[in-house]
Amino acid sequence: MKTLTLITGSNRGLGFSLLEWAQSQGHSVLSFSRRSLGERFRQQISDSSAPIFQEVLVDFSKPESYSGKLAKTLQALDLNQFERLILFNNAAVIEPVSPIGELSPELVATAIQVNLTAPIHLCQEFVKSTKSFQGKVWIINISSGAAYRPIPSWSIYCSTKAGLKMFTDSLAMEFRNLPHWRFLNFSPGIMDTGMQAQIREIPETQFPLVGQFKDYYSQAKLSMPEKVVAKLSRYIEKIDSGKTLTSELKIDLDVSDLA
């Protein structure tokens, strides 16, 4: 299926694995991230079957850095050449991780901006730019178990992920009469990424459960991002092939639900 895939936070972790998957499937790709992927990957893309690859450098903590860029990038393309559009809102930050009385107001504002406000703005631009598109459309917001259960010292991360979940649920309700639109809150589980390494470095005085996360790593309980992406991609393709019953469709999806 001729697909245009848009990915935020695509320079590392799950976002990079999503990028590699899209490239391997011959998708056209729009990458939105703060840091460049580097010349080596751009050469890999140019040597691949990906018809279009465009890298857009943005800082999601600063609205002036990203505002309008997704819409402008889409407007420059003939979307009618595609059968499917997929937007992955993946970019996120874990900071600040501290008891409530020690939270930095500046870091709180940044986390809300990156984890919640920016994905809302991007979805708005995406919807406005694709309203006449007649093919299949996916908006997949990367969620977390933290959206569903409280974690001490993660009050801001939990709150922003819970907010993004409810935003996605509300969008799905708005578009319920348009069957070619799909919305997904996807929780990828605990993965071996830079964010997990960052969590393991937090002092126990700031994060009392840090020992659990060190154990996940030492006991090899972390999933590899590329394996998570493989499971998610099979789900997407199954839905779009029409082989899934309506009763099996989900808005909230955890990686543990997937084979």
pLDDT band for position 242 (cuts 50, 70, 90): confident
For the segment 163-180, the average pLDDT, to the nearest whole number, is: 94
Q: What is the pLDDT of residue 259?
A: 74
Q: Over the chain, what is the mean pLDDT?
A: 93
Domains and CATH numbers, the chain: 3-189+224-257 (3.40.50.720)
Place of tokens 């976002």: 15
Contact 32, 58 (CB under 8 A): yes
Contact 8, 122 (CB under 8 A): yes
- Residue 61, CA distances (Å) to 80, 116, 150 in order: 32, 10, 24
For the segment 56-63, the average pLDDT, to the nearest whole number, is: 97
Contact 54, 29 (CB under 8 A): yes
**Closest by Cα among 192, 203, 185 to 145:** 185
Q: Which spans in the chain are helix H?
A: 13-24, 39-46, 63-66, 69-75, 105-112, 118-129, 155-174, 194-200, 210-218, 225-240
The structure's pTM equals 0.94
Q: What is the pLDDT of residue 41?
A: 66
Q: What pLDDT, in 10s, does the model give residues 73-111?
A: 999 999 999 999 999 999 999 999 999 999 999 999 999
Q: Which two tokens stand for residue 77?
A: 């393309």
Amino acid sitting at position 61: S
- Backbone dihedral region for residue 12 (phi beyond 0: left; psi -120 to 50: alpha; all else: beta): beta
d(CA 97, CA 202): 8
Amino acid sitting at position 65: S
